[in-house]
Structure formats: C-alpha cells, structure tokens
C-alpha cells in the first residue's frame, strides 16, 4: 500500500488574508481570527508550511494549544498535508509541554524526573493535612477549597511563595495563606509531586532564573505557534514571553492566533490584556485580521458586529460573510410576558422545526446562568423532546440539588433511610464511620428506620458529645420544619430547612468558583417548589423527570451556558433571558464594573456568532426568580443591536406595572427566597382552609386576569380554574382573581 503523498495545493485553499497569515513567517505575528474565520486551518497550515518549506525541522516548532482535542486535530491536519506523521513535535497543551520540560529539569526545583502529578482529590487531601498540622484554623470558616482557590490564583499569576508581595497577599485564615502555601509547596517536594499549577509555575521559575536553560530553548525553537491567545493567564503569558523574546532577532518568530472579542474567561484567570498589548511586548509585530466568516449569515454577523463595536477594549475588526448563501433571516428579538411563556416559545419553535425535518442536534439553547436550564429542561420533557446539558449535569442531577432533594424527601418521609444517610452528615456534623455504624446497628437491632434510631441514640452517650449534640439538633430541627410545612407551606419550610440545617451556609463559606452557582441553583429549586400544590406532588414530579430514558434517541437539543458554547456552532440558536441583572450579570457588574460589562458584551457576541442560520434572542417582562415574580427590564444589549439586522416580535415595552398581588418574600439567613403562602394568584396552591365561595363561572367562558390578561376556562375544580390565556398559555388560578370578560 502506497503512503499518502504530500498535498502540494494546501495554500490554494486559503483566502487572501488566511494565506497572508500563513506566509508571514519572519518576526512576531498576531492573527486576529474572528468567529468562524478558519483560525484552526490557518494555524495548522502555517505549521505544515514551516516544515514543507524547510524553514524548520519538526522539533524546532513549539505549538501550544488549550485542549488535548485541539492538539490532536492539529497533529492530524499537519500529517495530512505532509503526507506522513511528523515525528518529534513539541505540540500540546500548556500543561503537557511544561510537564515535558519539567521532567528534564526537575532537580532544579528539588524534584526527581519521575515526579507524580496530583489530581484534584489528592491536592485537597494534602492541603487539609497541611491545615490540620498548622493548627488553629476553623475549617468551617476557612475551608480547604477556599485556600486551594487562593493558591491557584497565585500560581496562575506566576507567584511562588517567595514572590508574593503584600499587595498580592490574601487575608485567608487571618493572613496565614502565604505560610500555608509555602508549607504545601514544601510538602509536595517531599512527596516528589506537583499539582497542575506547578507545571507552569516551576518551568517559568526555571526559565526566569537559569539563563543557560532559557538560552538552550532559544536555540531549539525557531518558531512558536499559540492558539486561543486571548485565553492565556499571566503565568502562561510569562512562559511564552520568556521563550519568544530571543536574543537572536531572527528567532523572535512567535505567531499568536486569537480573538480579543471572544475573551470570556477572566473568572478562571484569563487576561485580555495579554492579547491587547502584543505589539508592545513584541515591537515590530504584524497584525493580520481574519474577517471572512464562513459560518453565519449576514444578519447574524451584522447583529454581532453592531453589539461588539460598543466595547472600547478591543483591537478591532469587522466580520463579513464568506458563505455563498449568506443572506438569511434577520435575528429575532422576542419580547414575552413572562419566563414561562419564554420556555414555551422556545419549545414550540423547536418542535415545529423538527416536524419539518430539522435535526434536534442542530438546536442550541444558550443561557447566561446554569439555573436557567431548569425551565427549559422541564418544557422539553413535557414536549417529549430529548435533550442534553453540555458541559454540566442536568438540573436535578447536580450534587447540591440531590442533597437538597434528600432533605426534602426526609422532610416528607421520615422512614426514607437513603435520604437520611445522604444528609445526616452533610454538612459535616462530626458523625464519622463509627457513628454511622452505631446508627445502622441500632436500626437493625430494633428493626426501625435510621431516623428513629438517631433520635434514640442522640439521647444516650453512644456518640461523642459533639456529634451527639449535632444529631439531636438536626432531629429536633426536622420536627420544627415539619410543623412549618403544615402551617406555612412547603416552600417556606424548604427555605427554612436549608438555612437552619447549615446546608446553604456550607456553600456560602465555600470559596470555590462553583459555590455561587450552587447557591443560585438552590434558589431555583425553591422557585420550582412554588409550582406545586404539595411537597409530595413536587417529589413525584422530580422522580418522573429523573426517570427520563437517556438512551431513547441519539438526536438531542443542546442546552448549555454561553461559556460552554464557545467554539461550537449550530444551525439554530436560542438566547433567552436577555434582561438587566441576568444578562449582563449584576454580580459581574458589581465585582468588575466597566471591565466586566465589556466581558459580558463579549459573551453576548459569542452567543450570537454560534448561529449558522437562525438566532432568536428573548427577554421577559416578568421573571419568576427563586419563587418571586419580579418585573424585568430588557438588557441594555438589546438597544445596542443594529435595527436593520433584527426583527422585533411582541411588545418590547411590556412591563409588569401591576405587582400589588405579588406575594411577600421570605428571606432566609442564606438569602434563599421563598413565598409566604397567602391567597394570591402567584401562589394558587394555598391549602389553608377558607370559606367556600359560590362561583357563576362556567367551562368555556371568557375571563380576564390582572396579570395574565384574557383567557378561556378549560376546566373547573371547586375554586381552582384551568385557564388557557391568550398570551401566556395554560395556567391554574383561584377563581377570586378573575373576572368575566363581559364585566371588564
């Protein structure tokens, strides 16, 4: 079998700007590659071109990617152009390349070449040991996850313990973070181990302090290629700059490919300034802009361009359509009455398109915050449309939701041993393996539920004082919370339970990046509770949702956050929740001001440019957030979209100007909101006794509701009416909140 021949026409496939980026080989080069402009093709073709023209041998090119997938793709494409695999390549992710370098020079930092790279669990276990050995640290107030986040931020900035200045220091554990970091690093050396942050940190430190080793790499690498440069953090930037600023001016050949308009990862350390100051870092640098987009239609590109042009912190480029069928439909901006109507609108449009033969995998719902997925998940389930959550778990599969559901299951059913086992030591109550064994032994001996055994053991000296007291308080708490459930309703009971049990406080004290999102998910769970008459009804609903067959069909609607969507593309994209406070995120604005606003706008740009053919943006005048209806203002980004690129549907000026019947809010210590169940249409499931009321309303009659407008009664159950409203679809409300249409 003959080996494949090299591709001689590989340059002919490029457009003029792509070819310029490939053939500009000498000196520093920044390729600003807009969304859908073929950056991967440029990067791989440039790599192959260096080898095909003899400008470099395979081991003389350092090629850096952010993912193993991107590295594999580049390796395969280069091999295809060459007609054979290229051996000895320095091609891989930042961490993979630095691990390779560190094994060469491990002894300089006190390691052996066979050092172990610790995973996250091992890191946490080691850090907890360090904190326990240090003594005097309250692990509840200062959890190990928080210290790990502080240490990782330092490593992302290239800071060893010795390089931390007072300005860079942290107040974690009463200003003990730097000392704990130092102890952690020394212990890693003793174990002949490194964590992922060390791979870059150690190598950067070696290059900073050992001129001979840096000079050796300068002699080795004639060319450097970097993908997704806008996503680099400070230590990655320092490592690259050290390698690229060669004393030999003929070898300062660094080519960075990226898009400043798609820099959306500051929350994990990415510094947009790295790409913005490229020309300053590398004097004489050339910039090539890739502006021909082969993904999206003209209206989609026009909408995205008009929006991102509002940012000041950008190098600037304008995308133009490179597709032959580039005309397409304008971007739709849909104004809706409430968030429930929004979920219905998205579900129905997907269902209609599916009937016309559009594959479900080409539909994407891109949300700003993870908690938004729940309403769309439930709507898709109702319609029988299979879906998957990309880059995360489905709402009811998330750890914090499973924990909260276990609390609610046990609240409802004290004999639920599985639920009790999950929550009895979550958060930690000092009940270790021996304590759980004692509970199980007592339950088996008397053939009683674990909860009853716990109540009895809590009144004996079987357990140590601390877990005994904690267990007694927990069991008494459930007695109190069940009373609240009976008197004030399941939503208030759930909010009180999660607060007083310490569960939400556990996540408030957690310093990990995921903790705020987990708290928002818990708030969304309380909102979901408000849709059901009883706790039992809600638990049954969730059980049915969890039983959905994951393997029923291969084709699925894609549901994900905007951050997870970067690098992906779909025929049809839905962008819901474009409202002030949600998108742009109020928390981001509070923490970062104008800088964060620009990143939020870049995130909106990323969302729009995921669409090939159809993009639909939506916002709701009323959104039920964490159990409470609120009036929502349209996102400022909607006003920044060019009018000639969009079509507005619905009443963009809709506002909820009658909120007098909005329920009062119960705000727990953690900030979880729940509705106090009083008789309002926003809480139609109030189960308290009330005097009967004769109603002259009949099935099929037209009625008017202050919030939902006109509708038709479809069913009557005592004083509860099933009504299909003209604008908001089917709802169940109390008869006292509607009037006959003829009387309005």
Catalytic-labelled residue, pool 17, 39, 195, 394: 39
Catalytic-labelled residue, pool 7, 19, 24, 40: 40
Q: The tokens of 495 are what?
A: 């909010």
DSSP string covering 82-93: HTSPPPS-EEEE
Q: How many residues make up the chain in this entry?
A: 744
Q: Is 12 helix (H, G, I), strand (E, B) or coil?
A: coil
Catalytic-labelled residue, pool 198, 228, 499, 510: 228
The closest alpha carbon to 44, from 5, 96, 7, belongs to 7
Which residue's entry shows tokens 């360090």? 130
Cβ proximity of 549 and 419 under 8 Å: no
Which residue's entry shows tokens 């992906």? 568
487 assigned ligand-binding residue: no
| Active-site residue, 227 included | yes
Q: How far apart are CA 657 and CA 660, in angstroms?
A: 9
| Active-site residue, 40 included | yes
Q: Is 155 helix (H, G, I), strand (E, B) or coil?
A: helix
Catalytic-labelled residue, pool 156, 227, 455, 600: 227
155 assigned ligand-binding residue: no
Q: How far apart are CA 485 and CA 490, in angstroms?
A: 5
CA geometry: angle at 239 spanning 233 and 245, to 5°?
Answer: 120
| Active-site residue, 231 included | no
Cβ proximity of 706 and 680 under 8 Å: no
Q: Which residues contact 539 (CB under 8 A, 6 or more apart)?
A: 405, 408, 409, 412
Q: How far apart are CA 107 and CA 323, in angstroms?
A: 54
| Active-site residue, 279 included | no
* Residue 326 buriedness (CB in 10 A; 0-12 / 13-18 / 19+): middle
Cis peptide before 462 (omega within 30 of 0): no
39 assigned ligand-binding residue: yes
| Active-site residue, 437 included | no
Could you count the other beta carbons within 10 Å of the beta carbon of residue 329? 13
Sign of dihedral through CA atoms 532, 349, 345, 304? positive
79 assigned ligand-binding residue: no
Cβ proximity of 611 and 602 under 8 Å: no
173 assigned ligand-binding residue: no
Q: How far apart are CA 240 and CA 237, in angstroms?
A: 5
65 assigned ligand-binding residue: no
Q: How far is CA 192 from CA 144, 203, 636, in A?
A: 22, 16, 53
CA geometry: angle at 295 spanning 291 and 299, to 5°?
Answer: 80
Catalytic-labelled residue, pool 157, 252, 523, 610: 610
35 assigned ligand-binding residue: yes
37 assigned ligand-binding residue: yes
| Active-site residue, 508 included | no
Per the annotation, binding residues are 33-40
Residues serving a catalytic function are: 39-40, 227-228, 262, 610
Please report, in range form, the residues annotated as the binding site for ATP.
33-40
């Amino acid at each position: 079998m003959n080996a494949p021949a090299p591709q001689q026409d590989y340059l002919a496939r490029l457009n003029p700007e792509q070819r310029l980026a490939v053939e500009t080989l000498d000196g520093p080069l920044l390729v600003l590659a807009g969304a859908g402009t073929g950056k991967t093709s440029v990067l791989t073709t440039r790599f192959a071109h260096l080898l095909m023209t003899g400008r470099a041998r395979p081991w003389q090119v350092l090629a850096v990617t952010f993912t193993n997938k991107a590295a594999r793709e580049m390796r395969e494409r280069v091999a295809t152009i060459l007609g054979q695999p290229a051996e000895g390549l320095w091609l891989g992710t930042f961490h993979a390349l630095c691990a390779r370098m560190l094994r060469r020079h491990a002894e300089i930092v006190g390691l052996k070449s066979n050092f172990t790279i610790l995973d996250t669990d091992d890191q946490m276990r080691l850090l907890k040991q360090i904190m326990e050995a240090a003594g005097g640290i309250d692990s509840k107030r200062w959890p190990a996850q928080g210290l790990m986040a502080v240490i990782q931020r330092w490593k992302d900035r290239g800071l060893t313990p010795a390089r931390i200045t007072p300005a860079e220091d942290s107040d974690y554990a009463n200003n003990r973070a730097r000392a704990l970091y130092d102890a952690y690093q020394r212990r890693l050396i003793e174990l002949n181990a490194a964590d992922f942050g060390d791979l870059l940190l150690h190598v950067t430190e070696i290059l900073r302090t050992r001129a001979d080793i840096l000079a050796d790499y300068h002699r080795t690498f004639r060319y450097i290629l970097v993908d997704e440069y806008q996503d680099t953090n400070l230590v990655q930037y320092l490592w690259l700059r050290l390698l690229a600023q060669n004393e030999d001016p003929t070898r300062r050949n660094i080519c960075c490919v990226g898009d400043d308009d798609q820099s959306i990862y500051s929350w994990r350390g990415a510094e947009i300034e790295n790409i913005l100051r490229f020309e300053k870092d590398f004097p004489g640098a050339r910039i090539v802009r890739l502006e021909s987009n082969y993904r999206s239609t003209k209206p989609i590109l026009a909408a995205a361009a008009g929006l991102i042009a509002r940012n000041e912190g950008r190098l600037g480029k304008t995308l133009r359509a490179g597709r032959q069928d580039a005309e397409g439909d304008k971007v739709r901006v849909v104004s809706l009455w409430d968030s429930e109507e929004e979920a219905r609108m998205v579900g129905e449009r997907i269902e209609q398109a599916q009937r016309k033969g559009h594959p479900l995998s080409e539909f994407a719902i891109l949300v700003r915050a993870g908690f938004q997925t729940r309403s769309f998940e439930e709507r898709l389930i109702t319609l029988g449309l299979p879906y998957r959550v990309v880059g995360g778990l489905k709402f009811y599969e998330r750890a914090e939701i499973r924990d909260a559901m276990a609390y609610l299951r046990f609240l409802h059913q004290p004999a639920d041993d599985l639920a009790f086992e999950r929550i009895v030591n979550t958060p930690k109550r000092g009940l270790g393996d021996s304590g759980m064994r004692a509970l199980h032994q007592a339950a088996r001996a008397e053939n009683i539920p674990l909860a009853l055994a716990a109540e009895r053991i809590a009144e004996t000296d079987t357990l140590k004082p601390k877990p005994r007291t904690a267990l007694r308080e927990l069991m008494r708490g459930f007695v109190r919370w069940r009373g609240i459930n009976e008197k004030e309703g399941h939503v208030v009971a759930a909010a009180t339970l999660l607060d007083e049990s310490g569960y939400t406080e556990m996540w408030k004290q957690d310093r990990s990046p995921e903790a705020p999102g987990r708290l928002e998910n818990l708030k969304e769970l309380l909102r979901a509770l408000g849709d059901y008459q009883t706790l039992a009804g809600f638990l049954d609903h969730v059980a049915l949702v969890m039983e959905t067959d994951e393997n029923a069909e291969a084709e699925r609607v894609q549901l994900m956050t905007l951050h997870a969507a970067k690098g992906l593309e779909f025929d049809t994209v839905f962008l819901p929740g474009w409202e002030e406070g949600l998108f742009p995120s109020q928390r981001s604005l509070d923490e970062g001001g104008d800088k964060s606003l620009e990143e939020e706008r870049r995130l909106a740009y990323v969302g729009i440019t995921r669409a090939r053919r159809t993009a639909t943006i939506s916002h709701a005048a009323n959104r039920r957030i964490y159990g409470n209806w609120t009036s929502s203002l349209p996102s400022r980004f909607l006003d920044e979209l060019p009018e000639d690129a969009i079509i507005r549907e619905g009443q963009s000026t809709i506002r909820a100007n009658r909120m007098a019947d909005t329920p009062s809010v119960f705000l727990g210590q953690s900030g979880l909101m729940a509705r106090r169940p009083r008789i309002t249409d926003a809480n139609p499931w109030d189960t308290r006794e009330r005097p009967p009321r004769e109603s002259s309303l009949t099935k099929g009659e037209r009625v008017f509701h202050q919030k939902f407008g006109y509708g038709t009664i479809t069913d009557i159950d005592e004083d509860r009416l099933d009504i299909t409203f003209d604008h908001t679809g089917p709802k169940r409300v109390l008869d006292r909140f509607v009037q006959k249409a003829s009387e309005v």
